[in-house]
Structure 1
Amino acid sequence: MAEELIFAFAGSGKTTLLVDKLTINSRTLILMNTVNNETHLRSRIISLFAFMHEEIRVMTWFGFLQGFCFRSILQKHFTSHGLGFPQPTVRMLRINPLNYQYHSGSI
């Protein structure tokens, strides 16, 4: 599969298109919006190949952010116990990295 980015409406056939384009030699990262969508796509890939191919990665956006962005860039500064997205209640200075970590340990 060539490098592609696909944006389309729900129910437009994105999953079918992706599964149809996958081959045993595919090196692919597919980001899904929900855990349910990720699970559904994984089952479709397993049905196609009879196993989850190691070169095909299916992740949620949050899993991607935590696994590839946060852990590789920020883990050396502080540890966390997940990601959270509530709006901050007070104005924070952006220069202190600890301003981005909650007391619970999430980022």
Structure 2
Amino acid sequence: MDPLNELPRRAMTAIVFDTLAYAEKLEAAGFTHEQAKGQAHALREIIDDQIATKQDLAALDASVSTRIAALDASVSARLSETKAELIKWYIGTMFAMTALVVGLVKLIH
């Protein structure tokens, strides 16, 4: 059996990398069998570590959705507090203005 056939052929969710074909191309370019096999395994590990899978994306989506929901709740609460503060200040200012106008009217007459 050819030792290159020992190289794993795995398909990932995002990319397919044929380690055997890669190693064969390296050997054809002048690499030794061991160099080609080592390069193929090393590149396979790099690809495995760098490519996001559907599960990675689903976990990220769930995390982002949770954070967005928490942020939405926080913003809604702050908007409600701000609205209450604005109404309080508006009413207070209106009473103060009314008192000022009434005082000035009494002062003038």
Task: State TM-score, norm by structure 1.
Answer: 0.21
Answer with 1 or 2: which has the greater Rg. 2
Report the structure, 1 or 2, having the larger helix content. 2
